[in-house]
Structure 1
Amino acid sequence: MPDLRAPEAWAHLPFFQRDLPVIRGKLAEETRTVYPPAALVFRALDLSPPDKTRVVILGQDPYHTPGKADGLSFSIPQEFGGRLDSLGNIFKEIESDLGQSRTRTDLTDWAKQGVLLLNTALTVPEGKALGHAKVGWTHLTRDVLIALSDRPRAFVFWGNNAQGFAKYVTGADHLVLRTAHPSPLSAHRGFFGTRPFSQINAWLKARGDSPIHWTDP
């Protein structure tokens, strides 16, 4: 995988000096195809600099099938055309929660509104979910959450993997949502019916901030 460079707005995080060189070495030894493409690995951070981030939705790791990972948690390129899995269940919850539908699978419009769509691992080998969960990416997740604790934001932790990072959110006045993961394996065990999208918008509006447009742009 080509050299990974720190996104300028986040380059101050300790991760980029302390951990990224180690990860580069591990990825250089990886013989399997890695997703997403190198240019998209830090896309979530590129699109959501700290001063623009209002909401954090923490995912697990990129999709491990060809053509599906685009660098944003849960997002899928519009031309993919395959199974939506977790994203399909997110769409069902949007419709149930807001009474409106979303069909656009590319979530770039969320990122541009200040929603950081971050995974706890930013790369994955083809066909091996969580295959890079232990290469060091979790240090980045920790650093990002600590940095974003500096002022009130909305944090969404879907599933046990994400919830394990909630301890890094410190300080008062945040909105912190913890529910089951939207995966087809768990969505019926505490994701459906939780209404995260209306909760986030109500919290933002109560603070005098504009709501997120969750449906099709």
Structure 2
Amino acid sequence: MALTIPALWQPVLADETSKPYWNDLEAFVAAERAEQQVFPPEDQVFSALELTSPEQTKVLLLGQDPYHGPGQAHGLCFSVLPGIKAPPSLKNMFKELKTDLGCVVPNNGYLLPWAKQGMLMINAVMTVRAHTANSHKNRGWEKFTDAVIRQVNAKPEHVVFVLWGAYAQKKASLIDNSRHTIIQSAHPSPLSADNGFFGSRPFSKINAALEAHGQSQIDWQIPNL
């Protein structure tokens, strides 16, 4: 199975497919799909890159690993498709969003409207074996998504990078914080949300940073479906 980088990103990421790790990654994911259930489905692995082009990207939200329950992961970090119950981390995001900006907690966890407004929502590892968290780590995905981060960092326009939790915060070294804004806090998972995510007001901070650089703010309200 070939992993095909979406057309919007091919001009800046084409070199990745010629690197030795890429063939190994393709072979690993193909072998996993042949023997195991793997999320997200093949046609949704690159959803984030398909929905938000390099030119459109003004906020980058980095997740770690796709959801590993049935029907949850669809290629946007933290998001689930309509009809799928919001996982705990996403519930905590909505809780903080209500506290921060007064947004109504929606009846779904489909974060597509954020992607359409220029928010690139990628996981550092883009596939996972069903029911087995971090099962595809250290197989090459991190090299690819580091390349995505570097390309976004290279943009002449200001970008807000959102790094929740220690894993994401390790990527701060890839970002030029003299040109871009980095917003960091604890992860919204139930294990850490009480230790620095709740009360961190990331959503209003993102909008303030965008406004300070003459960029349009994100409308954070996810509509009911």
Q: Deviations along 1:122-162, whole A, 9 cap, x unmatched?
A: 00000110000111100112111111112320000011111
Q: What is the CA–CA distance in structure 1 between the aligned matches of 2:30 and 2:62, rounded to whole Å? A: 26
CA contact (8 A) 2:111 2:222 kept: no
Q: Does 1:168 align with 2:174?
A: yes
Show the counterpart of 2:82.
78
Alignment of 1:101-116 (within 5 A): 101-103=104-106, 104-116=108-120
Distance 1:4 1:149 in 2: 24
Contact conserved, 2:188 with 2:197, CA < 8 A, in 1? Answer: yes
Shift of 1:172: 2.1
CA distance in 1, matches of 2:222, 2:38: 30
Distance 1:197 1:166 in 2: 19
Alpha-carbon spacing, 1:191–1:27, altered in 2? closer, same or farther (3 Å): same
Q: In the alignment, which residue of structure 1 is the partner of 2:56?
A: 52
TM-score of the superposition, structure 2-length normalised?
0.91
Percent sequence identity is: 42
Give the match for residue 188 of structure 1: 194
Q: Which residue of structure 1 aligns with residue 18 of structure 2?
A: 17
* Alignment root-mean-square deviation, CA: 1.3
Deviation at 1:183, TM superposition (A): 0.4
1:119 aligns with 2:120: no
Q: CA deviation at 1:29?
A: 1.9
* Comparing 7-16 and 60-69, the one that deviates more: 7-16
Where has structure 1 moved over 6 Å in runs of 4 or more?
A: none
Matching residue within 87, 105, 120 for 2:90: 87
Q: Is the 8 A contact 2:103 2:220 kept in 1?
A: no
1:214 and 2:220 aligned: yes
Contact 2:37-2:130 within 8 A present in 1 as well:
yes
Partners of 1:55 and 1:84 lie apart in 2 by: 22
TM-score if structure 1 supplies the norm length? 0.95
Counterpart for residue 26 of structure 1: 28
Aligned residues: 215
Where does the alignment leave 5 or more consecutive residues of structure 2 unmatched?
none
1:146/1:170 contact within 8 Å kept = no
Q: Contact 2:66/2:123 (CA < 8 Å) preserved in 1? A: yes
Deviation at 1:171, TM superposition (A): 5.6
1:80 Cα offset (Å): 1.1
1:177 Cα deviation from its structure 2 partner: 1.0
- Segment of structure 1 superposing worse, 116-125 or 101-110: 101-110
Q: Which amino acid aligns with 2:26?
A: R
Greater shift, 119-128 or 161-170, is seen at 161-170
Distance 1:180 1:216 in 2: 23
